[in-house]
Amino acid sequence: MKDNLVYLDEIKEEDVLYIEGIQKVYGERFAGKIEVHHKKPLKEIGETYQVDPIHELIPVCPNCHMILHLGDPVFTPEEVEAFINSVRSKIEDPC
């Protein structure tokens, strides 16, 4: 399988903003602690499959990456975002 190295000049603008947002949430100590999630699960990819890093890989914080993989099938990023937003709204307005 081809190396999945993605260069900074190949990262989409929304992903750069997401990475900067993670740093704002977790602070300087955790800057750069980003994981990469494959939109198409690795168990579904054959040995000769060519991963398109721009369209098939997304940067996620380690916590979100774990949550993505708790689903069966794997949760979508949109499902995880909705879950986080629902939890956040309960914390902000507990009643």
Give me the residue label for tokens 């690795």: 42
**pTM of the predicted model, to two decimals?**
0.67
For the residues of 36-80, what is the DSSP string, one character each? Answer: EEESS-GGG--TT----HHHHEEEE-HHHHHHHTTSSSPPPHHHH
Write out the chain's pLDDT in tens, 95 residues: 334 444 445 556 666 556 666 777 777 777 777 888 888 888 888 888 888 888 888 888 888 889 999 998 999 888 988 888 888 888 876 65
Give me the residue label for tokens 């997401």: 18
Domain boundaries, the chain: 8-92
Give the count of alpha carbons within 13 A of 91, CB side only: 6
